[in-house]
Amino acid sequence: MSIILTEHMVPVIMTVSGSPRKDGCSAEMLRRFTHELDAAFVSYDAYGCRFAPCTDCRACRQFEGCAMDDMDGFFADFEACDGIVIASPIYNMSFPAPLKAIIDRMQRYYSARFFLGKRPPISKRRPVALLLSAGSEDEDGEFAARQLEKIFTVTNCELVSRIVRNDTDHLDSMEDIASEISQEAAHFANLLDSIINSSHDF
């Protein structure tokens, strides 16, 4: 983890891993996806960070920020990065608890928008890629993606790429989605360049 410098020559991508396994399917998807990108990376491991869950203390309705300071570095990187890649297994149609804690702590931006009137809380537009692995055969990641909609809306993020690798309980290889990962990474990179170039026009 590190705070992103404001001056950089290549795009800076924040990656967030929600997997407890360093050699798991979602971790491999993340490695393959980021390998396709010409960028600098600042990476967060949800299980390693052990961020505290939201307690609904409602302090963020009174001032911009969070009453707890354990995620200050994360928030700084989140606001400064040029794009975001989230990789996670699906547990019971949702995210693992450590990643869900991070998502819930984003409530500070929702409160900034709707209680403090900051519109938008983050002015910088960012594309997001969501990489999901699921043990079942029929998971499409829709429920997991919908959990991110509110926070994406208020933080100027747009989900532009979503890949779901199903049936990982019987997975022998990731090669069957290698082409999809490469194509989606190229799509993500093109949109990222477009957003950065358009911001330089102002």
Q: Which residues of 104-115 are buried (b: 16+ CB within 10 A; e: fewer)?
A: ebbbbbbbbbee
Structure tokens at 58: 């409602």
128 strand-pairing partners: 84, 159
Q: How many domains does the chain have?
A: 1
Q: What value does the mean pLDDT take over residues 61-68?
A: 96
Per-residue pLDDT for 172 more than 80? no
Q: Is the pLDDT of residue 198 over 90?
A: no
Domain assignment of residue 60, yes or no:
yes
134 lies in a domain? yes
Residue where the block lists tokens 């022998």 = 172
Report if residue 89 sits inside a domain: yes
Mean pLDDT, residues 39-49? 98
| Residue 51: CATH number of its domain | 3.40.50.360
Full residue range of the structural domain in which residue 63 is found: 12-193
Percent with pLDDT over 70 in the chain: 95
Q: What's the confidence (pLDDT) of residue 8?
A: 52
Sign of CA dihedral 186, 191, 196, 197: positive
Q: Is residue 2 situated within a structural domain? A: no
Residue 23 reports pLDDT greater than 60: yes
pLDDT-derived band at 55 (thresholds 50, 70, 90) equals very high
| Confidence class for position 5, pLDDT limits 50, 70, 90 | very low
Q: Is residue 200 part of a domain?
A: no
DSSP string, 14-74: EEEE--S-TTSHHHHHHHHHHHT--SEEEEEEHHHH-PPPP----GGGTSSS-S--TTHHH
In a domain, 1, yes or no: no
Please report whether residue 202 resides in a domain: no
Average pLDDT (4-31) is: 85
CA dihedral over 168, 169, 171, 176, signed as positive or negative: negative
Residue with structure tokens 């967060």?
44
Say if residues 150 and 120 touch (Cβ distance below 8 Å). no
Q: Is the pLDDT of residue 94 over 50?
A: yes
| Domain-embedded: residue 198 | no
Q: Name the percent of the chain lying above pLDDT 90.
A: 74
* Cβ contact 160:131 at 8 Å: no
31 Cβ neighbours under 8 A, 6+ residues apart? none
* Range name among 37-41, 137-141, 183-187 with the lowest pLDDT average: 137-141
Which residue from 133, 126, 113, 132 is spatially nearest to 159, judged by alpha carbons? Answer: 126
